[in-house]
A and B are shown apart, each in its own frame.
Chain A
């Protein structure tokens, strides 16, 4: 598809969203009661609009093509034009419009291209959590101005990735010039390489120690189903991965190399980003009859220094209360210093709300598995003129959300 056509379709989608915003914005927030909770913060928070809607991270679709966007939007709206709950889409308009004409050298050398490429729009719908038969829908905007943890600008990391790819290729050598090779042999070579890549992806996704015998078993079945003369050798190769201690150790080393040698770990990158999210409530699931529900805007920044990081955040939160509860607005700010690595870290920080309430936090985070973190914290709530009230808490952070107790 031509960039101009892609641009037109993306513009139409954005225009439709913007049109709804214009129709709905500017509604009165009324009086502002006290805010009842203080928000925790992360250097890079979950997507604002999905957080406001209460959608889990693993339900978010990230369509990378215009046709995929249209498919996602189709699933979010039924045939009568009503919103369907549970839609969660994130898209990067500039990347979609530029598509395959976006060049990595421009991304590396031009900060404007980088900012535009990393600007994301989020759209989501969810059943209202505090009102029966109502539907919340929202849109969010994330602009990443700076992110030193972006591997695309890290030549050393790119070289490490390509070295790993080269190792994969060399596992299945090609015949030399002057040799004869049949098309079926080349086809088998490609099948074996594909299986190797898939098996490696499984290894990288999960802990090598816990691999995933079931997943490998499914590959063995696939190898069987190939019906190719190489099937036996593929089976032998995959069995080697599964059973051979040396093979497992080599995969472990490869994984360690990829996960540890990235020069600027994402956890303590130097970054600056702006997040805006607005949620509307549709009592009849019709977008046109929605009313303003909540708005949040955050600016997050981080300065990474070796094995430590300063992170800060300032934001505003506005919530329109339902019947029986008032509207609220709060300005929040946070500052934290963390030290550690990608497996464990310790931090001290302070959150404030409207600059007259605050929480002093001591935080320990330990990575349990790939994307699962255990967080132990002691929070001391401070209000002007009162003694701090300390509360311990234990939280398990998973890709699907956070679960914890106080």
Chain B
């Protein structure tokens, strides 16, 4: 079952953030689709190289979020070239409250330029 988030229609804007742990770096992208599978917001060419969450606000009106889903892909790499484990996490928040947090462990093979994929989605209900 997809990860689910329930926003308060009367609340403030909803944001999502992504972080990659264990001193790894990533290039990533994401889509927000509505209930008709139409892309309503798109993030491309995003990079994280500081192990600090990157946060984005959803432009879709909160009242229309039910039925939408947030989908992302991140190519994770290790600048130490040693490879190893990491945890990719995406958190959805509204007014400072966490609506959903999805984390997944991954492992990058050792060697220069090696990569791993962190991809998942969150469904708004």
Interface string of B85-125 (1 = CB under 8 A from A): 10101000000000000000101010111111101010000
The contact of B44 among A174, A189, A254, by CB within 8 Å, is: A174
**Assuming A162-B25, A174-B31, A194-B117, is B50 touching A183 (CB within 8 A)?**
no
Task: Tell which of B40, B50, B87, B112 touches A103, judged by Cβ atoms closer than 8 Å.
Answer: B50
Q: Could you tell me if A103 and B79 are in contact, using CB atoms closer than 8 angstroms?
A: no
Q: Check: A62 CB closer than 8 A to any chain B CB.
A: yes
Q: Quick one: given A64-B84, A105-B50, are A168 and B115 in contact (CB under 8 Å)? A: yes
- Quote the shortest CB–CB distance from A308 to chain B (angstroms): 22
A104 touches B114 (CB 8 A): no
Assembled-state Cα–Cα distance A174/B43 (Å):
10
Given A162-B27, A162-B47, A180-B36, also A258-B113 (CB < 8 A): yes
**Complex: A154 Cα to B81 Cα, angstroms:** 12
| A42 at the B interface (CB under 8 A) | no
CB pair A100–B77 under 8 Å, yes or no, is no
Chain A residue at minimum C-beta to C-beta distance from B2: A183
Report yes or no: A103 in contact with B75, Cβ–Cβ below 8 A: no
B residues near A259, Cβ cutoff 8 Å: 112-113
Q: Which residues of A contact B45 (CB under 8 A)?
A: 166
Within the assembled complex, what's the spacing in Å between the Cα atoms of A343 and B116? 27
Question: Within 8 Å CB of A168, what residues of B?
Answer: 75, 115
A154's partner among B21, B41, B79, B105 (CB-CB below 8 A) is B79
Interface of B is mostly: strand
Contact A193 B117 (CB under 8 A): yes
Q: Smallest distance from the beta carbon of A318 to chain B beta carbons, Å? A: 31
A204 within 8 A of B: yes
Do A104 and B117 contact each other (CB < 8 Å), given the known contacts A177-B41, A262-B112?
no
Q: Of the candidates B87, B115, B121, which one forms a contact with A165 in the assembled complex, judged by CB atoms under 8 Å apart?
A: B115
Residue of A nearest to B88 (CB): A100
Contact A100 B87 (CB under 8 A): yes
Task: Give A352 Cβ to nearest chain B Cβ, in Å.
Answer: 33
Q: How far is the CB of A256 from chain B (nearest CB, A)?
A: 11
| A100-B21, A162-B47, A197-B116 as given contacts; A205 in contact with B109, CB under 8 Å | yes
- Residue in A95, A180, A189 whose beta carbon sits within 8 Å of that of B37 in the complex: A180
The count of residues in chain B whose C-beta lies closer than 8 Å to any C-beta of chain A is 47
Complex interface: chain B residues within 8 A of A68 (CB): 85
Within B23-67, the residues touching A (CB, 8 Å) are: 23, 25-27, 29, 31, 33, 36-42, 44-45, 47, 49-52
Indicate if A179 sits at the interface (CB-CB under 8 A): yes
Residues of A within 8 A of B38 (CB): 178-180
Q: Do residues B75 and A177 form an inter-chain contact, with CB atoms below 8 A?
A: no
> A169, B51: Cβ atoms under 8 Å?
no
Residue among A101, A165, A200 with the most chain B CB within 10 A? A165
Give which listed residue, B41, B42, B80, contacts A151 with CB less than 8 A. Answer: B80
Closest to A260 in B: B112
CA of A170 to CA of B77 in the docked complex: distance in angstroms?
16
For A328, what are the chain B residues with a Cβ–Cβ distance below 8 Å? none
Interchain CB contact (< 8 A) of A197 among B40, B47, B75, B111: B75
Q: Which residues of B contact A255 (CB under 8 A)?
A: 113
With known contacts A65-B85, A193-B73, A259-B113, A117–B23 Cβ distance under 8 A: yes
| Residue contacts A-B, CB under 8 angstroms, 27 given | A62-B84, A64-B22, A64-B84, A100-B22, A100-B87, A102-B22, A102-B51, A107-B23, A150-B80, A157-B79, A158-B25, A164-B115, A165-B75, A165-B77, A174-B42, A177-B41, A180-B38, A181-B31, A181-B39, A193-B119, A194-B117, A200-B115, A204-B112, A204-B113, A204-B114, A205-B114, A266-B81
Given A181-B31, A193-B119, A201-B111, 20 more pairs with CB closer than 8 A: A65-B105, A99-B22, A100-B22, A100-B87, A101-B21, A102-B22, A102-B51, A104-B25, A104-B49, A117-B23, A152-B80, A161-B79, A165-B77, A179-B38, A180-B39, A181-B39, A189-B73, A193-B73, A197-B117, A266-B81
Shortest 10 CB-CB distances between A and B: which pairs?
A: A100-B21, A64-B85, A165-B75, A151-B79, A258-B113, A165-B27, A103-B51, A104-B51, A105-B50, A152-B79
